[in-house]
Structure 1
Amino acid sequence: MKKKLVIVESPSKSKTIEKYLGSDYAVTSSKGHIRDLSTSGKDGLGVDVENEFEPKYVISKDKKDVVKDLKKAVKDSDFVYLATDPDREGEAISWHLAEVLGLDETLENRIVFNEVTKDAVVDALNHPRKIDTNLVKSQETRRVLDRIIGFKLSKLLQKKIKSKSAGRVQSVALRLIVEKEREIDAFKPEEYWHINAKFLKDEIEFSGELAKYKNKKIEIHNVEEANSIYERLNKEFIVSSVKKTKRNRDSKPPFTTSTLQQAASSQLGFSAKKTMSIAQKLYEGIDLKSETVGLITYMRTDSIRLSDSFVQDADQYIEQVYGKKYVGKRKVSKKKENVQDAHEGIRPTSVERSPESVKEHLSNDEFRLYKLIYSRAV
């Protein structure tokens, strides 16, 4: 009897998911992208610039055996689910798989899940959809831009300054640096001075800044003016205003991809590459003896939204472990412009899996990063 086939991106994720689904399913992986733009044609772009930027795709050399195995697996199955990562890149990989494997692209066979847990995977299988062509076109446009800018600009830079490469991101970053440098060069510094004093009144010491001189607001432009005013000050001073402020410090929102990389760099000394590599393992699944489960939600996100179910679980957990007074009021963040918000912020898949409870199953670096993510979310 033929099985249903589930195709994911990563081999380690396929092993985790296979344990959830039982004997009716087979799970395999594409190991990322299976094809890319050709390097043939004018300028080796793999893009027909004169014909509405039509891309030409070829199967990657190192993926020919993978494609061969996938075609055999498809032939031996009675239905295929495309379960690549839940982002724009993952959507494009699903489309490429459908094209190369001859799948019907009108079928509702695309499934997505934000965390590698049994409940999330089973729920995704109950809610399949069609491949989102808008996301596919978005990724395709970005890839075409990468190729055109990368190939053309890289050749120019190699010729002029012997630089290795440039691309869609580096070229814009360089432009921003140049603009900022020009601002710095154009800046005209203006000298200014302040006069401060320490006072003792009723055995209380406090400091103050000279705000007015001869009942006029003062601006001091150089040391001579400062010394002149200082010499003419008498010993009687009037406190013109006392400002009291009260500050509330809100909890920080859960991590996004960029804030996780920043925190891991400053607190753990991890490079961005190392952070994402460890996060990928935590997302795809860790063997906890009794079960294999993803410990964190998908780590490529710019959203700080948290699911209602996680928030409820976390509130109950905090009250039970720390006491009711520690259950804080959550600050609801307004959705920012240009935030895709397709996923939640990065959080543990279960608040019950505290860092200490899973420590023996993690490497030291995995434990440290998981603890950082868990603490920030909870």
Structure 2
Amino acid sequence: LADRRRERENFKPEPFWMLRAVFANDKGTWTGLWTKKKENRFHSEEEAVQVQASIENQIGKVASVKKQKKKQPPPPLYSLTDLQQDANKQFAFSAQATLDIAQSLYEQKKCLSYPRTDAKVLGSQNADMAKKLVEQLSQNYSELFAGVEKKLIAASNKRVFDDDKLTDHHALIPLAPLPASAGDQESKLYDLVIRRFAAAFHPDFEFEQTDIVTEVKKQDFQTKGRVILKPGWQALYKNEAREEEDSEAGNLPPL
């Protein structure tokens, strides 16, 4: 611990430069990030300027195109810690504020389960309860539950119902619709929980990952993009910025 503390204290940020290039063919355009041996930063401005000058207005060629179909399962149900992290990230709620709001939704509004839990799963005995909750909540939040696959609301779905990972209390889930008397902060926190609960019973997010390397004057530029095949659970989060996409391109042209 002392060594890590000294490393943080002695750390000095160093400037770096990155170089992007825009390429085009008769089908469209794409952007690539300069890459060399998995490194994508220049540590001197002079080097970055030299590379830029050497490739400007030059003709590039597509060196490689790799496509791979992938699946991403829904995120786990909320533990208190995970809920606090997301509430801070999205709404700037402090950890204590999130706990207080969740406690109010549990005790006063009676629409949220016991919040002080570190579990991210339900028990196998909770499968019937989950089915009833989905049916009940679908009446008020049809847009969230329209894509639910009922076969996933079963004890055999170990990603959600796992006795081995269950602690004293199951994961945070909605127990009833949000009362009209709820405040703005309560509404925001409840939305996080019910959205995560609904997502748990949606199919996987399926997409095609595309990695392109474009070469110009022996300089490589990497482009990463993906094409959505089946939105699955991510349909519930389509309005959020997905930082993890880390994409240099939107819709890639045929290559």
| TM-score normalised over the length of structure 1 | 0.38
Alignment of 1:77-88 (within 5 A): none
Distance 1:198 1:317, change over 3 A: same
Cα pair 1:261 1:275 within 8 Å, conserved: yes
Which of residues 188, 191, 194 in structure 2 aligns to 1:374?
194
**Who is 2:96 aligned against?**
273
Which of residues 160, 170, 173 in structure 2 aligns to 1:344?
170
Cα pair 1:265 1:271 within 8 Å, conserved: yes
Distance 1:342 1:206, change over 3 A: same
| Residues 1:327 and 2:161 are matched in the alignment | no
Which of residues 250, 253, 259 in structure 1 aligns to 2:76?
253
| Residues 1:297 and 2:121 are matched in the alignment | no
Q: Distance in 2 between matches of 1:369 and 1:220?
A: 42
**Who is 2:250 aligned against?**
none
Which of residues 108, 132, 137 in structure 2 aligns to 1:313?
132
Alignment of 1:1-378 (within 5 A): 180-185=4-9, 195-202=19-26, 204-209=28-33, 222-233=44-55, 235-244=58-67, 248-284=71-107, 286=109, 294-306=110-122, 307-317=126-136, 321=142, 326-328=147-149, 329=152, 332=159, 341-349=167-175, 353-355=176-178, 358-360=179-181, 362=182, 365-378=185-198
Distance 1:240 1:186, change over 3 A: farther
Distance 1:315 1:226, change over 3 A: same
Q: Distance in 2 between matches of 1:262 and 1:323?
A: 22
**Who is 1:63 aligned against?**
none
User: For 1:144-177, what per-residue CA distance to the aligned partner results, in whole angstroms no more than 9, with x for missing partners?
Assistant: xxxxxxxxxxxxxxxxxxxxxxxxxxxxxxxx6x
3-state SS, counterpart of residue 242 of structure 1: strand
Distance 1:324 1:262, change over 3 A: closer
Which residue identity does 2:77 align to in structure 1?
Answer: P
Cα pair 1:193 1:223 within 8 Å, conserved: yes
If each structure's strand is expressed as a fraction of its own residues, which one has the higher value? 2
Shift of 1:219: 9.4
3-state SS, counterpart of residue 373 of structure 1: helix
Q: Distance in 2 between matches of 1:190 and 1:265?
A: 29
Q: Report how many residues are paired.
A: 183
Cα pair 1:197 1:209 within 8 Å, conserved: yes
Q: Distance in 1 between matches of 2:68 and 2:131?
A: 34
Distance 1:211 1:240, change over 3 A: farther
Shift of 1:191: 7.5
**Higher Rg of the two aligned structures:** 1
Which residue identity does 2:101 align to in structure 1?
Answer: I
Which residue identity does 1:240 align to in structure 2?
Answer: A
Which residue identity does 2:148 align to in structure 1?
Answer: V
If each structure's helix is expressed as a fraction of its own residues, which one has the higher value? 1
Shift of 1:365: 4.5
Q: Distance in 1 between matches of 2:134 and 2:91?
A: 28
Cα pair 2:144 2:195 within 8 Å, conserved: no
| TM-score normalised over the length of structure 2 | 0.52
**Who is 1:72 aligned against?**
none
Q: Distance in 2 between matches of 1:266 and 1:195?
A: 29
Shift of 1:317: 4.9
- Identity across the alignment (%): 30
Distance 1:279 1:226, change over 3 A: closer
Which residue identity does 1:282 align to in structure 2?
Answer: L
Shift of 1:374: 2.9
